[in-house]
Amino acid sequence: MCDSKAANNSSLITPKICSKIIESQGASAGTKFLTFKLIGIMFGCSRFCFSTFEDSAMETFLKSERQVKYMEADLYIPGNILFVDGNSLKTTDGTRTTIITGNVSTSGYVEGTASEALYDSITSFTQISPTLVVIADNGNDCLRLLDRTTANSSQYVGYCYPGGGMGGPMSYPLAITQNLKSPDMIFVTDDYAIHQVNSSNNPPDVSQAFDVNAFYLTQDPQTGDLYTTTDTRVNKISYLSGTAVKLSGSFNGNRDGDFDFARFETLQGIIFLHDKILVADEGNNRLRVLDLNTNQTSSICSGERGHKDGNLSVCSLAEPYSLMLHEGEIYVGENKRIRKIKGL
């Protein structure tokens, strides 16, 4: 991380400053990415913690062909965003977009180069290095490995069988994220539990990390605690004990207020923002903010389905699914769009 002198004066820390500090300390590319991605959470919180919505607005960043189910800053092409579009993985700078692997509208199971490879519902991915991407191929019931230098895909974990159901160490993997407390380890959610994959081993080792059902997940970089989504609930899992407790939600619905009173409808992507949790409420066409200090929930956008830009109280979303914090802005992956929140 950043040196102790800089860390003790959080007002001096910015993503660019901290990135330079990390490079000078010879950190690995993966560590640099994780730190850069989360620096706004750990230091200089004022830009990232939703202290006010008055000057913030939703705007369109990119039009996609299908629902954008996951995004990360592209390690292989700095400045770009890597994202899921249908059954493909694409990279973009906001103007030029290129398919890296797969075919947006065609599903199947084929290992190959670039568009020759076929997937069946890519739901997530994580970059374990600038050149290697682990992809959750949900419909084929496995994890795939993409080599960015050759654009070639290969089987990584599981049997990769069309339609799945062939057994293996996990069942229909959904979400993937690196363990911030141990970057060589990857958390993977499936139909039954949260698993952990050791990416430093070849072949990778797989073990069950938490006997908890979860859709998507995010992690507190300081405590290691996990925050996860299910259909109508946000849960918190202790990193040390593995104990899972309900944070907010219960039955389906659409209402804000106290954590126990709040209701959600088909929750998906989730990100940790220091003292708040931001969640994509796909069923209600809203983003939901969970304030960990006040135990209150609030909403972003009107709840009407659409692509209306503007103030966060009047904007509209279409099945928001994925979330990303990138260079001081929140990106939202939804149906046929990537949007971003400006002015935080």
The whole-angstrom separation of Cα 2 and Cα 116 is 42
Burial-class residue 280 by CB neighbours within 10 Å (0-12, 13-18, 19+): buried
Inform me whether the pLDDT recorded for 43 exceeds 60: no
> Residues 237, 246: contact at Cβ < 8 Å?
no
pLDDT digits (tens, 9 = 90+) for 210-238: 999 999 999 999 999 999 999 999 999 99
Residue type present at position 323: L
The pLDDT value given to residue 46: 36
Q: What is the pLDDT of residue 47?
A: 42
Q: What is the pLDDT of residue 218?
A: 97
This prediction has a pTM of 0.85
Q: pLDDT tens across 66-104, in order?
A: 999 999 999 999 999 999 999 999 999 999 999 999 999
Q: Where are the beta strands (DSSP E) in 167-275?
A: 176-178, 185-189, 194-198, 205-210, 217-219, 226-229, 234-237, 244-248, 257-258, 267-273
- Residue 265 pLDDT more than 80? yes
Closest CA to 180 of 263, 271, 107, 255: 271
Domain extent listing, the chain:
1-47, 71-174+176-213
CB 284 within 8 A of CB 57: no
Task: Report d(CA 242, CA 260) in Å as an integer.
Answer: 22
pLDDT range class, residue 4, cuts 50, 70, 90: very low
- The tens digit of pLDDT for each residue in 163-210 reads 777 677 889 999 999 999 998 999 999 999 999 999 998 889 999 999
CATH of 71-174+176-213, one of 2.60.40.10, 1.10.8.620, 2.130.10.10, 3.40.50.300: 2.130.10.10
Residue 310 has which token pair? 């503007």
How confident is the prediction for the chain on average, in pLDDT?
86
| Strand-pair category, 226-229 with 217-219 | antiparallel
119-166 pLDDT per residue, tens: 999 999 999 999 999 999 999 999 999 999 999 999 999 999 887 776
Quick check: 78 and 62 in contact, CB under 8 A? no
Q: Residue 5: CB partners within 8 Å, gap ≥ 6?
A: none
At residue 163, the pLDDT reads 75
Strands 185-189 and 176-178 turn out to be antiparallel
Give the H or E element holding residue 6.
helix 4-7
Residue 15 has pLDDT above 70, yes or no: no
The amino acid at residue 332 is V
In this predicted structure, the answer to whether residue 26 has a pLDDT above a threshold of 90 is: no
Strand partners, 288: 279, 299
Give the pLDDT confidence of 275-329 residue by residue, as tens digits: 999 999 999 999 999 999 999 999 999 999 999 999 999 999 999 999 999 988 9
The β-bridge partners of 291 are: 276, 296
Q: What is the pLDDT of residues 103-124, one digit of tens each?
A: 999 999 999 999 899 999 999 9
Q: Band the pLDDT of 342: cuts 50, 70, 90.
A: confident
Report the C-alpha gap between 308 and 97 in whole angstroms: 23
Q: Nearest-CA neighbor of 165 among 197, 118, 120, 207?
A: 120
Residue 240, Ramachandran bin (φ over 0: left; ψ between -120 and 50: alpha; else beta)? alpha
Total H helices, total E strands in the chain: 3, 25
| Residue 137 phi, psi dihedral angles, 5° rounding | -100, 85
Biggest alpha carbon–alpha carbon distance for the chain: 53
Picking from 268, 15, 218, 33, the residue whose alpha carbon sits closest to that of residue 127 is: 33
For residues 38 and 106, the model is more confident at 106
